[in-house]
Amino acid sequence: MAWKPSEPLMKRISHYASFPPTGVSLRQMVQFGEKPSTGTLFRASQFLSEELPVRLAHRVEELNKLPDGLGDMSSIQKVRDWYAQSFEEITEMAKPDLDKGTRDRLLNPPKKSNQKLSNNVRNPSMNKNGDNGGGVNSRRYFAAIDDDNWPPELADHNKKFSRMLENIKRRHDPVVTTVAQGINEYKRKRQRMQIDASIQSFLDRFYMSRIGIRMLIGQHIALTTQSNHRHPNYVGIICTKTNVRELAEEAIENARFVCEDHYGLFDAPKVQLFCPKDLTFMYVPGHLSHMLFETLKNSLRAVVERHGAEKEEFPITKVIIAEGKEDITIKISDEGGGIARSAIPLVWTYMYTTVDATPELDPGFNASDFKAPMAGFGYGLPISRLYARYFGGDLKLISMEGYGTDVYLHLNRLSSSSEPLQ
Ligand SMILES: Nc1ncnc2c1ncn2[C@@H]1O[C@H](COP(=O)(O)OP(=O)(O)OP(=O)(O)O)[C@@H](O)[C@H]1O
């Protein structure tokens, strides 16, 4: 029998959903995790044991109030139950029994080791009225406590907490695919070709929130497991010296490989990379790889389909990377024939694709994410744009129908903007 939330649990969820989430910036995550002592990790777990339930509760509430019967789809209910179950696990985890001295040290760490975190700025992707959660609230996200010699209960609790988060993260792996199934189910039942604006904005909010939740969870697990053997340039999953050229080269290679495989080509269309030497900045390499791979795959597909798979030579796609004070911008220019102006708004909608046969998502489909071979779900662009916006960047697309497309990936290098939360 699948797990179902009880009445009292749903009441508790409603209560938590009345609190706003707290946005954290990339910079703060790095300051927090620079020297994760047992005390620091414990305080991080205290922060997360409040913050994650708040974020999960908002999603449960929203999944319960979806328009036009979307919430009745069985896949959507399944996802809602995962969120509620994870909420329950975190809020019901037993707290360690600590002596007064330890409690005092955790509450009032010595001044020198309890540095204040830098302030957040509003994330540019938030609308004017949106609460970016970066104000007074963010003080709850404390800085590190350097000193050591903590009682063993603390380290034990940290391990248990991190293991619980690993379980939760695994439970939520299939969320994107399962929600996509729910949308498919809905489109079939309601005989809709496209989703309307309210569902589109729900999906944007929902997936953006998922990126944030997974960022906090992934960061905490990595900090806990890395505390003994830390890679010099890494704080959790954040790389303080993300090498843009290396990631771009890797993404080009992967996209070309997938393209050769898909179209049975001996040699995929070439990609030329222009990137300043030794360009590094603070970012999550996994996010950047994802965005680069998705956009490059789109360009290669467009080039092959425009010029024909039987061609021996294709026009070269250019990747140009520029370093500004505020942004690092990556432009991907292809000669794949572009997109009609009327179709531009559609490329940002979920489930829009010009692939004829969208790969079937059968009910047992359990992949952790869309590791789509070439294309077909219509999630590549909208999800990549959320990743870009999550840390204050953006993804834009300008096309010349009949010639090609330029995709601009702006990455904010100031790293002080708060997560865009709603
Ligand atoms: N560089 C491009 N040139 C021409 N058309 C493009 C380009 N990039 C995207 N498109 C169009 O936008 C559509 C949506 O792209 P998107 O990346 O969101 O989904 P997809 O590639 O179809 O599927 P997937 O979810 O596997 O990425 C594509 O199907 C294609 O028609």
List of residues 6+ apart from 148 with CB closer than 8 A: 37, 38, 39
Give the mean model confidence (pLDDT) for residues 313-327. Answer: 96
Q: pLDDT by residue (tens digit) across 92-120?
A: 998 888 888 777 777 776 555 555 566 77
Rounded to whole angstroms, how far apart are CA atoms 129 and 111? 36
**Which of 298, 306, 307, 354 has most ligand 1 atoms within 8 Å of its beta carbon, as the pocket-test mutant?**
298
Calculate how far, in angstroms, residue 96's C-alpha sits from the geometric centre of ligand 1.
50
Q: How far apart are CA 171 and CA 112, in angstroms?
A: 40
The predicted pLDDT at position 195 comes to 80
Residues with Cβ within 8 Å of 267's Cβ and at least 6 positions away in sequence, in order, are 260
Beta bridge partners of 411: 328
In the structure, what pLDDT confidence band is assigned to residue 336 with cuts at 50, 70 and 90?
A: very high
pLDDT at 120: 72
Mean pLDDT of 178-204: 88
137 is catalytic: no
Mean pLDDT of 46-69: 95
* Confidence bin at 122 (pLDDT 50/70/90): confident
**pLDDT of 109:** 65
8 A C-beta contact, residue 262 and residue 373: yes
- Which atom of ligand 1 is least distant from the CA of 297? 21
Q: What is the pLDDT of residue 144?
A: 56
Per the residue annotation, which of 287, 297, 318, 410 is the catalytic one? Answer: 297
The ipTM (two decimal places) reads: 0.95
Q: What is the rounded average pLDDT of the residues 234-263?
A: 95
Annotated catalytic, 294?
Answer: yes
Between these two residues, 105 and 215, which has the higher pLDDT value? Answer: 215
| 23-37, 321-335, 398-412: the lowest-pLDDT one | 23-37
Q: Is 19 exposed, middle or buried (0-12, 13-18, 19+ CB in 10 A)?
A: middle
Which pLDDT belongs to residue 375?
A: 53
> Do 335 and 303 form a contact (C-beta atoms < 8 A)?
yes
In whole angstroms, what is the distance from residue 416 CA to residue 110 CA?
26
To the query of whether residue 128 is one of the catalytic residues in this protein, the response is no
Output 70 or 196, whichever has higher pLDDT: 70
What is the Cα–Cα distance from 362 to 352, expressed in whole angstroms?
Answer: 19
Nearest to 416 by CA among 204, 217, 197, 124: 124
What does the pLDDT read at residue 37?
84
Which residues line the pocket of ligand 1, CB cutoff 6 A? 294, 298-299, 302, 334, 336, 339, 347, 352-355, 370, 372, 375-381, 405
- Judge whether residue 141 has pLDDT over 60: no
Give me the catalytic one of 294, 318, 335, 412: 294
Average pLDDT over residues 209-224: 94
Measured in Å, residue 346 CA sits from the centre of ligand 1 at 10
* Candidates 290, 307, 331, 401; catalytic one: 290
Beta-carbon contacts of 137 under 8 Å, excluding residues fewer than 6 positions away, are 20, 22, 23
| From 120, 132, 298, 412, active-site residue | 298
To the query of whether residue 108 is one of the catalytic residues in this protein, the response is no
Of all protein residues, the one whose alpha carbon is nearest to atom 10 of ligand 1 is 298
Task: Supply the mean pLDDT for the chain.
Answer: 86
